[in-house]
Structure 1
Amino acid sequence: MNSVDISNELTHLIQGENTKNNLSVSQLVEKVLQRAEGVLTSTGAVRATTGTYTGRSPKDKFIVKERSVQDKIDWGKVNQPISEEAFERLYLKVVSYLKKRNELFIFDGFAGADKKYRLPIQVINEFAWHNLFAQQLFIRPAEEELGTHENPFTIISAPHFKADPAVDGTNSETFIIISFEKRTILIGGTEYAGEMKKSIFSVMNYLLPENDILSMHCSANVGFEGDVALFFGLSGTGKTTLSADPKRKLIGDDEHGWSNSGVFNIEGGCYAKCINLSEEKEPQIFDAIRFGAVLENVVIDDDTRVADYDDSFFTENTRAAYSLEAIDNIVMPSIAGHPTTIVFLTADAFGVLPPISKLTKEQAMYHFLSGFTSKLAGTERGITSPQATFSTCFGSPFLPLHATRYAEMLGQKIDEHDVQVFLVNTGWTGGEYGVGERMKLSYTRAMVQAAVEGDLDSVETNRDEYFGVSIPLHVPGVPDEVLQPIRTWSSEDAYRHKASELAGKFKENFKKFSHVREEIERLGGPVHSE
């Protein structure tokens, strides 16, 4: 089976009598209800459940080992190879399966708000609610743009199709396979809609750097004077909360590119965690969950259809998908200039990282590669004390290229645009988790505000003796003693022991970066450990 035959099979599929092309939001909602795929909540959002799979399946993700990419991909546990032959056999099975469905739903759109760099995409879904999800998360085309929507990267999603690992070369019944040469993503065996979003992000993390554009797993906002800030951080660090600022307009909450022209959002929507969501804490997200939005695995009252965001019956990973246009304080289109400030967010449960510190370029590259935060006791089976966790570039599951490629690009951008970089610890102070207390959100907001408004660019600092970063001595609205971690602990010896322990974990993790320039580790990493 060659690429021409693959293309013909796709053409026959999308031109079939059972296809529904670019239905409106209202039409898709009607289809969801008619097909009993979901129900309406009291706010008009669609609620669907995803069965066995309530999150991503990283062990079932593959990249086809094709001649044009095989020497560029960072092959391993994240980017598992699969042969072209296995991909094509499975492709034919999935297409044959979908041809027999009563209805298929097709969405044509884009990834990338900047028209100079955007990627045409086509999403073919077995489920109507998945197609509604795609409409919320990706960029919808104007009517006239559909006529020039050429050579798209195509997602083919068949949740009810199960692979046979013994025959198909997969690890389980589930598969997410990217073929860069065929410009196709094949998804099956899972109803979790987030696989579509993240697979396109993985594609952009390959294509954008190949065009000298840094792809980033971060949120972004812009002040009224055009000053752009980026927020990197893993789950639980406060990325969504801190980037939602009434004094600044949101560019996007999760995925961005940084070109020679500035920053642009890759998506057209948001995919927010909504466990324990409340109107008081996160009013923007709460108010965005209305008609057109999709709720995944959220418990709702059978009679009133009111969502109970505190109930984790299906999963802790409850989600809300909604269009950016559902938020008032946004930039449209989602494009802005070059960043002046970058904030790395971490929730240090060891309680030893400074609540805010300034980073040199080398330190920024080091902490970008490290992507540190903490897993807390009780969050996973077997975790009884805080554990350091590292996610390369704050997004390791979605990086097809070697991590140093992204880090070097970040370093160049920092130099070129004289960007100020800060490490902000939203975790514990006065002791580790269980002894100290979580940093007050009001303090963190004050520190972030001072950073993005330039108030800390020339402030007096001292050097942290364990991590080498520069700690501001004064931040408006924050007590001076809070800024120095050692001064918040009751036992200086206990602090030193824990700081040394965490510094050692940083150094041990960094050993995996064999291709990193020596000065990045020497000038950017901890200066003291056990």
Structure 2
Amino acid sequence: MKTVGIDNGLSTLLYGSNANVQLSVPQLVEKVLERKEGTLSATGAVLATTGKYTGRSPKDKFIVQDEISKDKVDWGKVNQPISEDVFDALYNKVVHYLENKDEIFIFKGFAGADEKYRLPIQVINEFAWHNLFAHQLFIRPTEEEVATHEAGFSIISAPTFKADPSIDKTNSEAFILVSFKKRIILIGGTEYAGEMKKSIFSIMNYLLPENGILPMHCSANVGREGDVALFFGLSGTGKTTLSADPNRKLIGDDEHGWSNTGVFNIEGGCYAKCIGLSQEKEPQIFDSIRFGSVLENVVLNENSRIPDYDDSSLTENTRAAYPLQAMNNIVDPSVAGHPTTIIFLTADATGVLPPISKLSKEQAMFHFLSGYTSKLAGTERGITSPQATFSTCFGSPFLPLPATTYAEMLGKKIDEHNVQVFLVNTGWTGGEYGVGNRMKLSYTRSMVQAALEGELTNAEFQPDPYFGVNVPLHVTGVPDEVLQPKKTWTSEAEYDKKARELAEKFKQNFTKFQHVPNNILALGGPTV
């Protein structure tokens, strides 16, 4: 097999006779159906399934360790190093593999809605439905922008190419390899489209801080008075659902940057979790799933082709990808001013955290660095029930730099703009997972509304006995006893036991951080 250089190999793919460049949505849908990659649903959306990889595969993600990255990346279990030689060898194999395909698909676009900071990207796909996904998730260029487009980063995705770990030095058949030097993301062995989305987010988490911009794993919206709110949280905690508020315009549902002039969306679409989706509960998301959208691992009725959003037989992590413009209540372009409110979302599987609490500056920094939540079923391979986890900055799988880099930037911005910060638990109440129940969405919406509309500014608060956060005694639309988690448990002794256990986990987790001011733990952490 002839070995090709990185640049030449990329040029071969971009200009090869099998390359379909910048196809329109209807053209891509036609290709998906023609190639039998997916099925057309009754909503007009394309449905595709992803086989055994129905979520991210974090153990298969690597970063090339070279002269650019070696002293900058926070190496460890999340950012696993590989050598340039390993990357180049696998890259050459994938390029040859795609060269011999009848067709490949190329999308050119951007990451970053603010033109001053956007990153030109190109996505090279083996599958037409993956290219449709990229078209809907990233920012689409104008015809004039396509003509002058020069990619600053490239994704090359070959899902049916499977690595041989004994030869290719990977952990499995799947691989997600990032080279900051060559500005290439190489993906293979997994059909899960979310790897492309999150890889670009990881790239932006590396690049944006160089320009003084804080990259954030959060959704964002803006009220009628121009007040901007951020919602931080891992997959499944409610970012997409809670930011899709009919009374507020959506900026974006998952990834943003915060510059000296305000916030901007990194993406051009939404990747909504749709297990249990209904028009009644989440009308904006439900109505956005139409022609051009991509449904991932959703089960269709065999005859009617109507999606069954309650069917989790393939995975709990069913998804819908659609462009922001499919929604009728958005900010376009996705740029807004500085936030006035920040909400940290957590799905607490122990059921002991208050459903809403107001945080001091130190508590905000503590909980941002802690990033406590529960990994929910299906969000990662092998996760079948909620598992307690601490994900630094509510997004540690996507942070190439040390966590304190992002935390220090957030702390400065909270001070500069006098931002109010709240911790909202969308997890369990009345007991831990398996005993209690998931917090009612209607209650959570009422609490978030109270925080955003100023109802809690001068409310009466009571410190939580275990975590020290200030818990409001009354919130319109929420029973008072729900606000105090201990009152929802049948056994107070069992609640006390679980609360102490969680408080201790917070403290133990925080010992991993170096060079964090002592007052962050002393004033921001648990009080027991």
| Fold shared per TM-score above 0.5 | yes
Report what 2:45 is aligned to: 45
Q: Which amino acid aligns with 1:207?
A: L
The answer to whether the 8 Å contact 1:257/1:265 transfers is yes
Counterpart residue number, 1:330: 330
SS at match of 1:218: strand
Equivalent residues in 2 for 1:159-178, closer than 5 Å = 159-178=159-178
Matched residue, 1:293: 293
CA distance in 1: counterparts of 2:18 and 2:377, whole angstroms: 50
Distance of 1:434 and 1:265 partners within structure 2: 37
Q: Does 1:94 align with 2:94?
A: yes
1:150-189 correspondence runs (5 A): 150-189=150-189
Alignment of 1:314-393 (within 5 A): 314-374=314-374, 388-393=388-393
Equivalent-residue separation in structure 2 for 1:298 and 1:445 (angstroms) = 26
TM-score by length of 1: 0.94
Q: How does 1:210-359 map to 2 (within 5 A)?
A: 210-359=210-359
Instruction: Specify the alignment match of 2:28 in structure 1.
Output: 28
Give the direction of change, closer, same or farther, for the CA distance of 1:504–1:48 in structure 2 (3 Å limit): same
Amino acid at match of 1:29: V
Gaps of 5+ in 2: none
The 3-state SS of whatever aligns with 1:320 is strand
What is the one-letter code of the residue matched to 2:40? L
Aligned to 2:455: 455
Q: How much does 1:427 deviate?
A: 2.8
Residues 354, 471 of structure 2: 8 Å contact kept: yes
Equivalent AA in structure 1 for residue 398 of structure 2: F
> What's the offset of the Cα at 1:390?
1.6
CA distance 1:487–1:207, change in 2 (3 Å)? same
Show CA shifts across 1:78-131 (max 9, x none). Answer: 111010111111111111111111111110000011111100000111111111
Counterpart of 1:102 in structure 2: which amino acid? Answer: D
Q: How far 1:368 moved relative to its partner?
A: 0.9
1:518 corresponds in structure 2 to 518
Residues 22/382 of structure 1: CA separation in 2 closer, same or farther (3 Å cut): closer
Q: Given residue 512 of structure 2, which amino acid in structure 1 is its aligned partner?
A: K
Q: 1:63 is paired with a residue of what secondary structure?
A: strand
- How far did residue 64 of structure 1 move? 0.5
After superposing the two structures, state which structure 1 stretch, 353-362 or 229-238, moved more.
Answer: 229-238
Residues 348-388 of structure 1: CA deviation (Å, up to 9, x unaligned): 23332222211111111111111112368999999999753
Report what 2:9 is aligned to: 9
CA gap of 1:385–1:95, structure 2 versus 1, over 3 A, is closer
2-structure distance, mates of 1:179, 1:376: 30
Q: 366-375 or 99-108, which moves further after superposition?
A: 366-375
- Larger CA deviation: 283-292 vs 228-237: 228-237
The C-alpha deviation readout for 1:179-220, integer Å capped at 9, x for no partner, is 111110111111111111111011011111121111111111
List aligned pairs for 1:459-470, cutoff 5 A. Answer: 459-470=459-470
Distance 1:364 1:247 in 2: 26
1:405 is aligned to 405
Q: How many residues align?
A: 525
Which deviates further from its counterpart, 109-118 or 438-447? 438-447
State the 1:54 CA deviation: 1.5
Provide the rounded CA distance (Å) in 1 between the counterparts of 2:185 and 2:441: 40
Within 1, Cα distance between the matches of 2:73 and 2:379? Answer: 32
Deviations, residues 282-329 of structure 1 (Å, cap 9, x unaligned):
111211111101111111123222212222232222111111111111
Bigger CA drift: 104-113 or 486-495? 486-495
Structure 1 residues 51, 394: CA separation in 2 closer, same or farther (over 3 Å shift)? same
Aligned-residue CA RMSD (Å): 2.3
Q: Structure 1 residues 430, 32: closer, same or farther in 2, change over 3 A?
A: closer
Matched residue SS, 2:348: coil
Question: Is 421-430 or 75-84 further displaced after alignment?
Answer: 421-430
Q: 1:363 to 1:286 in 2, by over 3 A?
A: same
Q: CA deviation at 1:58?
A: 0.9
Match of 1:462, SS state, is strand
Q: Is the 8 A contact 1:350 1:386 kept in 2?
A: no
Residues of 1 paired with 2:386 and 2:190: CA distance?
Answer: 31
Contact 2:229 2:340 in 1 (8 A): yes
Q: 1:123 to 1:374 in 2, by over 3 A?
A: closer
In the alignment, which residue of structure 2 is the partner of 1:482?
482
Question: In 2 relative to 1, CA 126–411 (structure 1 residues): closer, same or farther, beyond 3 Å?
Answer: same
Give the SS at the match of 2:176.
Answer: strand
| Unmatched 5+ stretches in structure 1 | none
| Pairing 1:55-70 to 2, within 5 Å after superposition | 55-70=55-70
Give the structure 2 partner of residue 115 of structure 1.
115
| Structure 1 residue 396 corresponds to structure 2 residue 396 | yes
CA distance in 2: counterparts of 1:275 and 1:476, whole angstroms: 28
C-alpha contact 2:56 2:380 (8 A) present in aligned 1? no
- One-letter amino acid matched to 1:127: F
Report the AA paired with residue 177 of structure 1: L
Amino acid at match of 2:123: V
**Secondary structure of 1:401's aligned partner:** coil
Q: What does residue 423 of structure 1 align with?
A: 423
1:45-98 CA distance string (max 9 Å, x none): 111111222211111111000111111111111111010111111111111111
Q: Secondary structure at the match of 1:317?
A: coil
1:147-186 Cα deviation digits (max 9, x unpaired): 2312430001111112222222211221110111111011
The separation in 2 between residues aligned to 1:380 and 1:90, in whole angstroms, is 24
TM-score (normalised: structure 2)? 0.94
